[in-house]
Amino acid sequence: MNINELSDNRGARRARKRVGRGPGSGLGKTAGRGMKGQKSRSGVAIKGFEGGQMPLYRRLPKRGFTQPNRSRLVELTLGRLQAAIDAKKIDSGIMVTEDLLVVAGVVRRKLDGIRLLGSGELASKVDLELTSATRGAVAAVEKAGGSIKVSVGPKEKRPRAVRKVPAESGEPEQAESDDDES
């Protein structure tokens, strides 16, 4: 088989509908829009309209925020790193940098940096120099006997704030603090 003999399976590609091209096409005159009315005219956006009722997309609250200038980090797992060491793409005896990972073909590109994730197992001792790493990944690298140097450290773990529910009675309940124990 040659490249010039390749073709799609029958029915995989369909010609687009050419509407309004005469009665012989089957979609002439009204072009499949039926007779008169708002939906037969151009410039109609009726999909989110609920007859004057507040539409669903406006009843639901807004949520979330997309940070426009956030850094895009390529994710590298411990399992993929170990597989690259086993396949002899990376020599674990030298300092492994982001550029070395790209040249070895472990990651395709480094974007704004590489972030090491803690999924998978790392058995080899390896010294890494990356942009970021999770706490679990740092612990796994150090457990295997290696070292890791990151330019952006892992986030500190902060306890979540717990809200107290006020008592059933009309008076507000005082929040108990940890410092003044009697």
pLDDT at 170: 59
pLDDT mean over 33-44 = 87
Q: Collect all residues with Cβ–Cβ distance below 8 Å to 108 and sequence separation of at least 6.
A: 74, 102
* Residue 89 in this model has a pLDDT that exceeds 80: yes
* Residue 174 in this model has a pLDDT that exceeds 80: no
Residue type, position 34, single letter:
G
User: Long-range contacts of range 15-19, CB-CB < 8 Å, 24 or more positions apart?
Assistant: none
Burial of 97 (0-12, 13-18, 19+ CB in 10 A): middle
* Residue 156 in this model has a pLDDT that exceeds 80: no
pLDDT tier at 182, thresholds 50, 70, 90: very low
* Residue 178 in this model has a pLDDT that exceeds 70: no
Beta partners for residue 115, in sequence order: 75, 132
pLDDT at 177: 54
| Residue with more model confidence, 76 or 161 | 76
Q: Collect all residues with Cβ–Cβ distance below 8 Å to 86 and sequence separation of at least 6.
A: none
pLDDT tier at 147, thresholds 50, 70, 90: very high
Alpha-helical (H) ranges within 39-179 are 56-59, 78-86, 98-104, 135-143
Fold of the domain spanning 74-152: Ribosomal Protein L15; Chain: K; domain 2 (3.100.10)
pLDDT tier at 173, thresholds 50, 70, 90: low
pLDDT at 120: 92
Q: Within 10 Å of residue 96's Cβ, how many Cβ atoms?
A: 23
pLDDT mean over 15-44 = 89
Distances (CA, A) of 23 to 16, 27, 39, 62, 153: 17, 7, 21, 48, 69
* Residue 179 in this model has a pLDDT that exceeds 70: no
Q: What's phi and psi for 131, nearest 5 deg?
A: -75, -45
